[in-house]
Amino acid sequence: MVLKNNKKGLLLAGQEISKKVIVAAILLGVGLAGLIDTIVFHEILQWHHMISNKIQP
């Protein structure tokens, strides 16, 4: 896997990956992580306030 920087984006094994695709992939990953956090930790396990229950204000 060879990465080379280009004015338009990155070159990966001869294929150009634009910066828009990289930004979209990062945003999609963050969004999916938030969705999984909400579904698993808040809805299924009901761990809403893990830290705030341990530390007194």
Give the model confidence (pLDDT) of 13-51 as tens digits: 656 677 888 899 999 999 999 999 888 888 888 776 666
pLDDT for 5 beyond 70:
no
* Angstrom distance (rounded) from CA 51 to CA 18: 40
pLDDT value at residue 24? 94
E runs forming strands in 1-57: 3-5, 9-12, 15-18
Taking alpha carbons only, the member of 29, 25, 4, 24 closest to residue 14 is 4
Residue 47 to residues 38, 42, 52, Cα–Cα distance (Å): 10, 5, 11
Read off the tokens for 15: 């294929």
pLDDT top residue among 55 and 17: 17
pLDDT value at residue 29? 97
pLDDT for 2 beyond 60:
no
Enter the pTM of the model.
Answer: 0.57
